[in-house]
Structure 1
Amino acid sequence: MSKTKLVVIGNGMAGVKCVEEIIALGPDTYEIVIYGNEPRPNYNRIMLSKVLQGEHSLQDILINDWTWYDDHGIRLRTGETVNRINTHAKYVETESGLRETYDILILATGSSPFIPPIPGIDKERVMSFRTIDDCTRMSEYSKEYHKAAVIGGGLLGLEAARGLLHLGMEAVVVHNAPYIMNRQLDLKAASMLQQELEAQGMTFLLAKNTQKIIGRSQAQGLLFTDGSKLEAQVVVVAVGIRPNVDLARRSGIATNRAIVVDDYMRTSEPDIYAVGECAEHRGISYGLVAPLYEQGKVLARTLCGQETTEYKGSVPYSQLKVSGVDVFSAGEINGEGLQTAIQMLDGIRGTYKKVLMQAGKVRGAILFGDTAEGTALLGLVQRGADVAELAPREGSPDPAEIAAAALPEQDTVCACNNVTKAAIMKAIREQGLETADQVREQTKASGSCGGCRPMVAALVKHTHQLKNNGDVKALGKPDRVTEMPVCSCTTLGHAELKGRLDHILALREDGVDAEEPQQYSSVFTRQMNLTLIMQKLGWGSEHGCAVCRPSIHYYMQVSTSTMNERVTITDVHSAAEREGMRQQSVEAGIEHKHEIQVRWDEGIPLSSYTLEVGGLRAILLSSWTGAHMPSPVNVGIAPRPGSWVSALVQDIGLVASPVGWEIYAGGHAEHPVKEGRLLGVAETELQAAMLASACLQWYRQTAWYEEPLWAWTERLGFMSIREVLLDDQLQTELATKRNDELGLVNHSGKAGMGR
């Protein structure tokens, strides 16, 4: 029986990594053919700078040699460029005329150096730095010429400059930003790195914009926009990359900046997938190794018919050695609303650490000189952890070992070679490894860029420490992560408090609470039993405080186990009784004041609006006026162009469009100003109200007390929220729950995702 034929266009790191995963999961599933335009097997591009610097040869950076392809029955077509895909007849064709049919096609065409439109860019001795052949050209130029300029002060430019120095050339880095590696580092870390590189012989011209490359037919130097010049016989351009999408675009496959893929790496054409730098997922194309490998794993499991979680995107990070200096960067480094949680500078050791936060959550981190904590910090950034988790543990003075101990077992330590903490500790324990070099030989961890070597060394120390202490069971197991307490009255965080309240209220409504079997008959009765609730929760203060009492009260109001059975105070008490009870609530410190405000163009007569606009406003007001919310919520309706209501900076924004309504969430008009993101589109006002109501209800049920809606979208992840709300059944259940409370008639109709 013939196998399904899998053709891969691209012999780079992302495509071949996906093939490796496929072979591991189903070695006999596919007949595999790989096309690569270079005349050599798969190699590690990250290591090109090491080749240029004389530390490695081509053989050293090969990921898979010729025998690997033969051993796994893979046909490798090197030196072949595919220039056509027939998506209907399902075949590809190369420039040389080769034709190959396929059942499944993976596009892993990678990217090419971005060449800016600078006059003179096509002169001789102007080159990029992307392949082994580029390393060879630089080496040849160095034998005859001595002055080089590198345009670009990012990682690639710095590595190219370091290689040119090794070849004996003068290397001047020209960068248009005020400091180097400005996308990964802050000014302080960049200045420290620049000092190190200057000590190695590198020269920098910062905040310089190149106007043209001078010389007749060959490069002789650079002319800058300020009129100054720089002599240079060799010019290396390293200002970024551009995804290779021409082949896909010519073949009718949907592209944007890169090839558009879904959460399973599927393109717009059946049986065609894309992975790596050429793929664009949820508007982002990644140029780092770790995200590309994550994509490859998801695609491999998909193609092998195995259950897999969808690819949801990656937190960008870099953990590298820049010319021998350890540097780590993750998450958001520069952005509105970011604040510094930790900043530490050790001038003696030459180390620097900075952790950035937003709304009490870890958002980004920078390490310089000592990157042992990098992997642990990356985990905090990925989870959006509370800043309380940054506090060091007592009795553990070594930060590297603290980071090694705190790192979850299944977290990846070496992104280049996909080696986890568990795999490293297992190798150390079972093979008696004593050094980071031995770990590298056995597992490949730190064998590529070397950025993770400090963590590998720390894991060696940590594993042996656990073994010496006889704590074999703890080897590789992460410490329990704790939440920041709600207040000083308790050790419970918001998540645990909410969960315990759900359990307590469920027992009471089932009539199985031995201490208090009487059923609650009103919200007011529940409020007056806060003291008993706090006793059951083990509260440190008998009556709580102004922080925790409103929190408990709110979570009781929106408990998912009791929502449908609640009645409001107005159902059972007169106006006079309600006012008396309201005053008691105020005195007890539990009155909840967070409600929803619906904004629209109030200055224009209602008759000026269409029936649909008036109906949308009426539905939202009737459903949500007086609703208890975690934090004040602003809903903005923009029914026409030029509306004074800026819906995109409201918590929920509804904007009229030619197709009906666009619904946005997560905006914020005050500092930090944030623009809402599109939840979906709706054809009618009923459908728009459904989606907006579903979002508000999901926010009520899953937000922490006093957590603004924009912060809630960041904590849960906007895409995960959208996936919940665009599920037809869940949307209906959420949207009608508030109406069930009020006894209103349910509205039908659902909103969909904009395409």
Structure 2
Amino acid sequence: MNAPVSFPSSGSGQAQLERLVVIGNGMAGCRAVEEVLARDPARYAVTIFGAEPRVNYNRIMLSPVLAGEKTFEDIVINGPEWYEDNGITLVSGDPVVAIDRAGQTVVTRSGRTEAYDRLLIATGSDPFIIPVPGHDLPGVVTFRDLDDVDRMLAAAENGGSAVVIGGGLLGLEAAHGLALRGMQVTVVHLMPTLMERQLDEAAGYLLKSELERRGQTIVTGGDTAEILGTDGHVTGVKLKDGREFPADIVVMAVGIRPATTLARAAGLEVERGIVVDDHMVTSDPAIMAVGECVQHRGTCYGLVAPLWDMCRSLADHAVGSPSGYAGSVTSTKLKVSGIDLFSAGDFSGGDGAEDIVMRDAARGIYKRVIVKDDRLVGAVLYGDTADGAWYFDLLKKGEDVSSIREALIFGQAFAAGGAGGGALANPNAAVAALSDDAEICGCNGVSKGKVVATIQQGACSLDAVRSQCKASASCGSCTGLVESLLALTLGDEVQSGPKSLCKCTSFTHDDVRRLILEKDLKAIPQVMQELHWTTPHGCASCRPALNYYLLCAWPGEYEDEQHSRFVNERMHANIQKDGTYSVVPRMWGGLTNPTELRAIADVVEKYNAPMVKVTGGQRLDIFGIKKEDLPAVWADLNAAGMVSGHAYGKSLRTVKTCVGSEWCRFGTQDSTGLGVKIERMTWGSWMPHKFKIAVSGCPRNCAEATIKDFGVVCVDSGYELHVGGNGGIKVRATDLLCKVETEDEAMEVCSAFIQLYREQAHYLERTAPWIERVGLESVKSALFDQPETVATLAARFRHSQQFMQSDPWAERAAGRDAELHQHMAEVRPFPTNVQQMEFAK
């Protein structure tokens, strides 16, 4: 048992204040206190008693903690400083066990007595446990608090099987988290439709199919008969039809009940919940109650959104300006990555109700809205929930929708154009049309008006809005709405934090790269599904980026998507202004020979190329090649042993060299030979952007190594290695990375640096802006702080090269260079050679 922890207030003068005692340190109790403090911060001396030995956290975000998407620190709502700053005494881990209404005191489990002038009960709800044989076995857990999550995580460490009893909101989120933790999960649900309180049969079917596609076993219509166990621990679940499912842990998620034991023992009026009036006052005028433990006008609420409305009404009453709570219309979203689901209102239909349904099987989208008496009364959205806030606003207000009836199912943008449809040109216009009291953030109960007011008061970035009013600070599903409000309110004055990868997602480049690894995502459609892409197929910005990130993350496992590349990479040539292409065969280190020159001359004559030009990277560029001739051009060059110079690619372009010590009287090392070795080692390597290397044989720097992405300057004692340079419009000289003594060391550091760049940089970010963003010291630290890091990164680079360099081309080149053949004999094919190319039609 955890010992109670007390954070006493350091405030002064509290003896003159009314004493407000709160039973419950959860979301309802603390939110009510926040609302009171916002109205009259000097009215009450507040003491909060919590059963859990921790500060207030966002209970509805336990699912992402279980799934590994967030930590406990990420979901803390009120840290210790909040209690201290507001003069609140927190007693955690010591729950109240009795209320003395006559003496107006409460007593805790440890025997502590606290007097009150006003008492607030916010005890929440208790999980319902099916009273079947075995329900009390070790290994049977509920899903209500952080301790439950810790028990599930401990079980998941050993792998094995899990059975979740209950296919409602919490049950499916628990199943999702355990599946991500590596367990084989079976969901047993009594009803024939998952989440039957929130979904109709069609949406329930789509949800079931998607979960089964992810590897979960979904059993609907399953009635639990017994929980099996041996040696004092759960081993499985048996259904009444005789089926059995193995289980190392069983999660009971079949429902909740208002936690009323304390109130009932104190003699308060209790039915299903603690009975309260419109001001959240119980049958005792000195005692208020709020949250899942209460019953208001005959209704008990098990979702978070009504809680915020209750707290506002309670706070108004507590400071003497009563408003009154009239009940809530609720909506639901499932917090399972990659599944977009929204439900609100009454979708049961019935007499006088009209169903409007849209199905898009190819995209996995299902929408159903229910209209009765020209009012929207219910909505179910699966696969595309962008209009959820708009539907919910219409539903709560009961507005007449007859004028937009024909366009209603297509969403707000079309409805705004009237029955004739017509999408809005401005994607933010739909958000602008929402009323000020429309809910933006359901997790924290924040309206559009509150977000706009927060922005107008100085919150000029997404992070600022999150910290000041909490909108978008929890599950993040409303991030797009908040960003639209920022744009509408501030225009060009919005302070951008890390930019999202593109307009199809709110995730940054770093987020996407991290989640690809964490979630084991290995296909572009899978990434888009899991990370809530707002477009069905992505765009020209995100598809090439995702293709690269997957190539980098899973070399040898991910199959390169040629149609997700830019046109130059698809064609293996640079498109020119007249629609023809230029072809650049590779010349290792700038060296060539009669066979290669003869092959180039033959290609120029055969295909009537109007121009051949020496490039800045010491190669020959053949201009004016027609699109339809490209496969044949490459076949002819391949026959001479020449491979692509990748002059078109986000990849290694060239390794420029000078003649070095072999010919130059100033040369200190064999720069040409080293350049050839480095090019052979690195060619074909796909990268975030184009990558250029140069090796200069002496500090005179004839190869211009100090304006390249990676530059080697040979000196008498070894090799200076420079990074992060580029020419072009904005010239940037390199930074000195380090100095090494041997060619092997230079090549090892080069491959390690390239791999670090490949793994850390954003797509289309060259080394110069990458180093300026992260800092040179960060790069040095990542490479050199641990002695084995360079070798580890270099090994990863060599591994990836096995799948990036093209074997058939190498075989043709073998005749001209035995050493190159030996190097290439160790690599596997990468599907970019001529025979496997997919040319655009």
Q: Is the 8 A contact 2:459 2:468 kept in 1?
A: no
Residue 99 of structure 1 deviates from its aligned partner by 0.6
In structure 1, what is the Cα distance between the partners aligned to 2:390 and 2:371?
16
Query: How many angstroms does 1:30 deviate by?
Result: 0.3
Give distance in 2, aligned partners of 1:4 and 1:431. 34
Aligned to 2:432: 405
1:439–1:269 Cα change, 3 Å: closer
Q: State the shift of 1:272 in Å.
A: 0.5
**Alpha-carbon distance in structure 1 between the residues aligned to 2:217 and 2:166:** 13
Matching residue of 2:115 = 101
Counterpart mapping for 1:288-687 below 5 A? 288-306=303-321, 308-337=322-351, 339-388=353-402, 389-390=404-405, 391=407, 392-394=415-417, 395-397=422-424, 401=428, 403-425=430-452, 439-440=465-466, 443-460=469-486
Instruction: Pick from 60, 75, 78 the counterpart of residue 89 of structure 2.
Output: 75
1:366 aligned partner, one-letter code: V
1:129 equivalent in alignment to 2:148: no
Partner of 2:29: 15
Aligned residues: 466
Deviations 1:176-202 (CA, angstroms, capped at 9, x unpaired): 111211111112222222233223322
Aligned to 1:166: 180
Classify the secondary structure of the residue corresponding to 2:203.
helix
One-letter amino acid of the counterpart of residue 393, structure 1:
A
Deviation at 1:362, TM superposition (A): 1.2
Q: What displacement does 1:443 show?
A: 4.2
Whether the 8 Å CA contact 1:22–1:301 is kept in 2: the answer is yes
Whole-angstrom CA distance in 2 between matches of 1:2 and 1:311: 30
Residue equivalent to 1:153: 167
Look up the match of 1:183.
197
Distance in structure 2 (CA, Å) of the matches to 1:74 and 1:128: 31
Offset at residue 442 of structure 1 (A): 5.7
1:197, 1:323 within 8 Å by CA — same for their partners in 2? Answer: no
SS in 2 for 1:52: helix
Residue 183 of structure 1 aligns to a residue whose secondary structure is coil
Deviation at 1:361, TM superposition (A): 1.9
| Counterpart pick for 1:196 among 210, 220, 225 | 210
Partner of 1:258: 273
Pair 1:456–1:354, CA change in 2 (3 A): farther
Residue pair 2:431, 2:485 contacting (<8 A) in 1 also: yes
Q: In 2 relative to 1, CA 181–410 (structure 1 residues): closer, same or farther, beyond 3 Å?
A: same
Distance of 1:198 and 1:272 partners within structure 2: 48
User: 1:99 and 1:241 mapped to 2: Cα distance?
Assistant: 30
CA distance in 2, matches of 1:299, 1:427: 23
Report the Cα distance in structure 2 between the residues aligned to 1:153 and 1:334, rounded to whole angstroms. 19
* Deviation readout 1:512-559 (Å, 9 max, x if unpaired): xxxxxxxxxxxxxxxxxxxxxxxxxxxxxxxxxxxxxxxxxxxxxxxx
Q: CA deviation at 1:461?
A: 5.9
Distance in 2 separating the partners of 1:268 and 1:444: 34
Superimposed CA distance per residue, residues 571-602 of structure 1 (whole angstroms, 9 cap, x where no aligned partner): xxxxxxxxxxxxxxxxxxxxxxxxxxxxxxxx
How far is the alpha carbon of 1:379 from its aligned partner?
Answer: 1.6
How many angstroms apart in 1 are the aligned matches of 2:454 and 2:365? 30
Q: Where in structure 1 are there 5+ consecutive unaligned residues?
A: 469-755
Structure 1 residue 429: Cα displacement: 6.7
What do the CA deviations read for 1:692-741 (whole angstroms, capped 9, x no partner)?
xxxxxxxxxxxxxxxxxxxxxxxxxxxxxxxxxxxxxxxxxxxxxxxxxx
- 1:228 maps to which residue? 243
Alignment-derived partner of residue 110 in structure 1: 124
Contact 2:194 2:208 in 1 (8 A): yes
Q: Secondary structure at the match of 1:178?
A: coil
Q: CA offsets per residue over residues 249-286 of structure 1, 9 Å max, x none?
A: 01100100110001111111120011000010011111
User: Which segment is superposed worse, 279-288 or 312-321?
Assistant: 312-321
**Distance between the aligned counterparts of 1:57 and 1:211, measured in 2?**
36
Counterpart selection for 2:255 from 234, 240, 253: 240
Q: Secondary structure at the match of 2:123?
A: coil
Shift of 1:289: 1.1
Q: CA deviation at 1:423?
A: 3.6
Q: 1:426 to 1:249 in 2, by over 3 A?
A: closer
Moved more, 456-465 or 149-158: 456-465
Amino acid at match of 1:447: A
Residue 667 of structure 2 aligns with which residue?
none
Residue 338 (structure 1) shift: 6.2
Q: 1:315 to 1:400 in 2, by over 3 A?
A: farther
Higher CA-based Rg: 2
Between stretches 346-355 and 55-64, larger displacement belongs to 346-355
Residues 468-526 of structure 1, C-alpha deviations (whole Å, 9 max, x = no match): 9xxxxxxxxxxxxxxxxxxxxxxxxxxxxxxxxxxxxxxxxxxxxxxxxxxxxxxxxxx
Q: State the distance in 1 between where 2:381 and 2:426 align.
A: 12
Partners of 2:198 and 2:344 within 8 A in 1? yes
* AA in 2 matched with 1:67: E
Name the CA distance, whole Å, in 2 between partners of 1:167 and 1:136: 12
Q: Which shows bigger deviation, 166-175 or 371-380? A: 371-380
Structure 1 CA distance, aligned partners of 2:493 and 2:366? 31
CA contact (8 A) 1:343 1:355 kept: yes
Note if contact 1:18-1:296 (Cα within 8 Å) is conserved in structure 2: yes
Which residue in the other structure is 2:651 paired with? none
Change in Cα spacing, 1:461 to 1:28, as seen in structure 2 (3 Å) is closer
SS at match of 2:242: coil
Kindly indicate whether the alpha-carbon contact (under 8 Å) linking 1:185 and 1:366 is maintained by their aligned counterparts in 2.
yes
Contact 1:341 1:387 in 2 (8 A): no
Distance in 2 between the 1:201 and 1:459 partners? Answer: 38
- Give the Cα separation in 2 of the matches to 1:400 and 1:176: 42
Does the aligned pair in 2 maintain the 1:360–1:386 contact within 8 Å? yes
- Do the aligned partners of 2:97 and 2:107 also contact (CA within 8 Å) in 1? yes
Aligned to 2:432, the other structure's residue is in SS state: helix
| Contact 2:258–2:273 (8 Å) recurs in 1 | yes
Change (3 A) 1:103 1:110: same
Distance 1:268 1:129 in 2: 31
Q: Which secondary structure does the structure 1 equivalent of 2:475 belong to?
A: coil
For 1:57 and 1:370, the matched residues in 2 are separated by 28
Contact between 2:459 and 2:465, CA under 8 Å: does it hold in 1? no
The Cα shift of 1:348 comes to 3.7
Note the C-alpha offset of 1:431. Answer: 5.8
Query: By how many angstroms is 1:445 displaced?
Result: 1.5
Q: Is the 8 A contact 1:424 1:443 kept in 2?
A: yes
Alignment equivalent of 2:282, drawn from 267, 277, 291? 267
Q: Could you say which structure has the greater relative contact order, defined with CA pairs below 8 angstroms and 6 or more residues apart?
A: 1
Query: Aligned to 1:342, what secondary structure does the other structure show?
Result: strand
What is the TM-score with the length of structure 2 in the denominator? 0.53
Letter in 1 for 2:447: T
Aligned AA (1:285): C
Structure-1 separation of matches of 2:215 and 2:116: 52
Q: Is the 8 A contact 1:319 1:374 kept in 2?
A: no
Distance in 2 separating the partners of 1:33 and 1:54: 33
Q: Which amino acid aligns with 2:387?
A: E
Q: Name the aligned partner's letter for residue 274 of structure 2.
A: I
User: For 2:277 and 2:390, how far apart are their aligned partners in 1?
Assistant: 29
Percent identity of paired positions between Structure 1 and Structure 2:
46
Q: In the alignment, residue 411 of structure 1 is paired with which amino acid? A: A
Unaligned runs of 5+ in 2: 1-14, 408-414, 495-841
Aligned-pair CA distance for 1:457: 4.5
Q: Distance in 1 between matches of 2:426 and 2:365?
A: 12
Q: Secondary structure in 1 aligned to 2:474? A: coil
SS of residue paired to 2:205: helix
Change (3 A) 1:365 1:466: farther
